[in-house]
Each structure stands twice: as C-alpha cells, then as structure tokens.
Structure 1
C-alpha cells in the first residue's frame, strides 16, 4: 500500500526558540483522502484516532470547499487547562502537511463556492487581488453572540447564539438575500427552535435540509443531533432526531456534511484519554447516505 505522510510545521514563535532550526516529523498514513482514514459505514466511528482524536480535545472541525484543507479548532475546556493546539491539515501534492495555528485562530466558515469567508457577524470576499477586508453583515448580526454560522449556495445564512451570553436565547436564526439586499436575521420556526436550546447549525448548499444540535425531553440524554427537511411549500418540517446510529446518552454536537456530500462529521463527549474522570470532545464521522432514510415520504 502506498504511504502518505504528514509534515509537521511549527509556528513562528516555536521556530524562534530553536537555535538549530526545527525538526520535521513524518507520520506515515495510508494513501487517500480524509487523512488516509478508512471510510466509515452507517454507524458513527471516531475519526483519525491518534491524529485528530488525541488526549487533547477534538472540538470543532471543518473543511475548505475544495477539500484540500481540514481544520481542527481546539480551546481550553477548563480554566486551569493548558492552551491546546489548533491545527490545519493541508494537502500538498501526495502528502498532508500539519500546520500548528497561532493562538486566537478560529476555524474558517466558507460559502459553498469558497468565495465568501464568514467570522461571526462579519465577512470578506475573494477578489482577483485576494481577500477583501472584513465587512459587517449589519448591526443586527453584530448584536448577536454568534458561535456558528453556515451559508447555502443561494446566500441564505443560518446562525446560532451563545445561550450563556448575556441576553442569549439559544435559538437559531436565518437571513436571506432578497433583491440583492441582506435581510436582518429572523428566528426559525418553533419546529426547530424547541427545547432548552439549539446551536451549531448546518444548512445544505441547496437548502434541502438543515441540521443542528439541541436539548429536548425526547432526546437520548444530553444534546442530540437533529434534522429538518425543506417541504414543498418552502417551510421547514418537524425536527427529526438522527437516531441511535449517531446519538447516544452522551453529548453530541456540531454536525456538518463534507463538501463532497459523502460524510457527516460531528463531536461527541467521550471519556478522557488521560484516564481522568473528565470527558473530552472527540470527532466522529458516518456515511451520510442514511440521511435520505429520514426524509418524510409524504
């Protein structure tokens, strides 16, 4: 079997500490996409154990639209924990390069075509000269403590808010582009905004469905993953729990479908790898074909 390698690059701050340059570690990986990992079936499995899922949290993940970059955004889960490393895996030729990101870096959120980059209530666009400066989506967006924002190919945005922030309601909102103008975000219907809170949305590029995590009395325990399908009249259907192939009594969150439409990635709280009594957030994935079995027949 051909072998693929990860080249590990240290951040500039680390390089400055090395008087004789810096070391290059090469970790052999099987040839193929998704860091060379064996594709999952119809039951969720951990993604890239020992590479992405380590003693540090897996936390938020994402892909660039062209699938050439894979992002792992980590943050401190307790006040006394050390600052973990957020990394980008970049495909370079026939290898994957691991780049340790600087402190304060956030996982990017792209439009499906890759020409718009969002950061909470701001965005910038790709131009012939490179990326523009960040612009505001509008005062109504900047007033919301946004955690996650997702965009469809038509420019519809779906965003959440931090329920723990002052004034945070823990609901999902949407914003369309009408006659070339971005409308202020509006709450999604009660079919979606039900339960204790809802967060971390994903909208399909064609707007045929939406996914998110939330806490409801009818769930499996902690937060579960849900889906709502767009109906023929344009309304969003009832929230559907993704079921026991994905959800457990533990906390699941942060669903997203890969840009090629093949897999669902999400997070799950699992026993800590260091053997302590704590839990940590690891990344899981599953073949996304099961989603069509959840679509209502009528």
Structure 2
C-alpha cells in the first residue's frame, strides 16, 4: 500500500506540472538554466556565453521571458535576443547590427516599451562618430520597430555616454566623460537624470562617495534607488576593473562605495551589472562572458556596511 501511495503521488504531481502552464513557465524562465548559488557561474554556456565570442551588457524583461545581450563581433558590437515562445526558447538572433558602427549595452525602460542601448552611430549618414551616445528603439505590439532614436539632448553630449539603467520612477542613471580633461578621456563619472513631465531633466553628478578621480561607469540602479552597482578602475581593485556597490540611507545619501570583493571580482575585468526584476540574481560580465550569482550577495554586503 505504501508503494502504491508513492506511485500515485508521483503520478498526480507529474499530472499537475504538465497540466499547469504557470508551473512550466517558472521552470523555463531564465532560459531554463539551473539557478546559481553564492558562487558565480557562467550563464548559459555554449548558448549565450560562448568561448569564441565576447559578451557584454545583458538584461531580462520583468517576467524573465526575454533576454537581450551585447556581443562583440570582430571589434564591432551587436545586440542579440532570445525569448520564450510557448515552451521553447528561440535560438538567439540578431536584433540590432550595422556594418559601420556598434550597438551595445541594452537595457529596458521601466514599462518595457523601449529598449535603450549605446551606439557610435552618426547623426547623419552611415559614418561612425568618435563618441558613444544613448539611443533606443520602441516596441510596437510584439515586435520592435528597428528605427533608431537618439535619446534626449539633456542626456547626450559630444563626449561619451555609456551604459544606462532606470529607477522605477523613470530616472536614468548613466556614465559620461563629458567633463573629463582633454588628456584624461577615460575619466568617466556617474550621473542621474530625473524623468519629470515626460522628459529627462538636466543630469546631476553623483557625489564623491561614488565618483572619484578614477573611472566610474556601467551603473545599475535598483528600482527603488536603494543601491547602485557600478564598474570602477581603482588602485585597490583586484584587476582591470571591479564592481563596486553603494547603498542609500534614510536621508537619501549614498554610502561610500565599496568593492564587492573576491567572490565577484577577479584579476580580469568585471562590468555591466544587472539585477533581475525579482531581485533574485545578479548578472554581470567577467572576462568576456556573462556570469550570474545569487543576489543575496547584495544583502550580505549591506549588512557588512551597517
């Protein structure tokens, strides 16, 4: 009787899973990959992270059923995507690519109606620019309109604007070297532009708890603006570029940014951070592959800072 009961239970569970689309959906999100632990691991090796390619900025939609990522192809970046169609993830396809200029670091707007990215696309013609600006395309139904639209002139300048992310209220965090001395073109700082009355306002430079005389870029802000993660190149770092984190206190002040440690950072280059909308996973690029790790690392670092 005991064996019969176990067999019956297994049958009922299998029937429930197969007959419950929501359960199947939960198993298939994040490309159906086995979730990471507190030890980072390469995301979707052989499918997304490939040994013969360099992957950079990446982002999932809020339901974890769409994935966008940048790939370097012979020194020129393009944006690819894959999505969950029924019970199958589509083969990664090129969404945006050009022969003469790069497109990289995709990031969805809070309402997911726009896909933002950076590009050295010229304002006119097919020639490339010497600097990168922030652009976007718009969603029309279930498809993306391929028309490239340059973001607000309050955001873009004649210098470089890099890697943007958004708070839930629409504020854009990004980096720029617009105020860098001529002989220090790699001196990037992090800015925030408040979204108000349907427009991005004049960006404000974050304080010296974030920005230093070093390189600060590739900033991710949590939806509630309680923390930011960014890449910086500092003397005390582990390698070519490390991920740092800062938390906002009850008075809206940012804590002094701290290195995220050897669990995340290596002797190589860590950049392009992104935390999934459910708050479960931290994605980032390390040594030209995309990694993911349990986002509990963020809470642990916050506890250490308190």
Mark yes or no: TM-score above 0.5: yes
Could you tell me whether the CA contact under 8 Å between 2:53 and 2:73 is conserved in 1? no
The 3-state SS of whatever aligns with 1:73 is strand
- State yes or no: 1:63 paired with 2:81: no
Alignment pair present for 1:188 and 2:203: no
* Distance 1:87-1:181 versus aligned 2 partners, 3 A rule: closer
Partner of 2:171: 156
- 1:158 positional shift: 0.7
Match of 1:93 among 86, 93, 96: 86
The equivalent of 1:216 in structure 2 is 234
Per the alignment, residue 19 of structure 1 pairs with none
Give deviations 1:163-206, integer Å, cap 9, x for gaps: 99975631111111356653211211111112520111100011
Q: Distance in 2 between matches of 1:87 and 1:128?
A: 19
Structure having the higher Rg: 2
Cα RMSD (Å): 3.1
Inter-CA distance 162–45: structure 2 relative to 1 (3 Å threshold):
farther
Q: Which residue in the other structure is 1:18 paired with?
A: none
Aligned partner (choices 238, 253, 257) of residue 239 of structure 1: 257
- Structure 1 162/34 Cα, relative in aligned 2: closer, same or farther at 3 Å? farther
**Structure 2, unpaired ranges of 5+:** 1-13, 15-26, 118-132
TM-score, normalised by the number of residues in structure 2: 0.72
Structure 2: distance between partners of 1:122 and 1:249: 32
- 1 or 2, which has the higher strand percentage? 2
Structure 1 pair 66/129, CA: closer, same or farther in 2 (3 Å)? Answer: closer
C-alpha displacement of 1:72: 2.5
Tell me whether 1:103 sits opposite 2:101 in the alignment.
no
Equivalent runs, 1:60-209 vs 2, <5 Å? 60-76=57-73, 78=75, 86-101=79-94, 102-104=96-98, 106=104, 108-119=106-117, 120-122=133-135, 134=149, 136-161=151-176, 169-178=187-196, 182-209=200-227
- Length, aligned pairs only: 254
Alpha-carbon offset, residue 144 of structure 1: 4.1
Q: Between 49-58 and 233-242, report the one with greater CA deviation.
A: 49-58
Does the 8 A contact of 1:195 with 1:217 survive in 2? Answer: no
In the TM superposition, residue 64 of structure 1 has moved relative to its aligned partner by 2.4
The answer as to whether partners of 2:209 and 2:256 remain within 8 angstroms in 1 is: yes
Pair 1:48 & 2:66 matched: no
Q: After alignment, is 106-115 or 195-204 more displaced? A: 106-115
The whole-number CA distance in structure 1 between the counterparts of 2:204 and 2:112 is 25
Is the CA contact (8 Å cut-off) linking 2:222 and 2:228 kept in structure 1?
yes
State the distance in 1 between where 2:137 and 2:93 align: 23
Match of 1:274 in 2: none
Structure 1 gaps of 5+ residues are: 2-30, 270-280
Q: What is the deviation of 1:115?
A: 3.4
Corresponding residue number in structure 1 for 2:3 = none
CA contact (8 A) 2:57 2:273 kept: no
CA distance in 2, matches of 1:75, 1:165: 29
What's the CA shift string for 1:59-95, capped at 9, x where partnerless? 22221233221122112465xxxx6875311110000
Question: Aligned pair in 2 of structure 1 residues 267, 122: CA closer, same or farther (>3 Å)?
Answer: closer
Determine helix, strand or coil for the equivalent of 1:51: coil
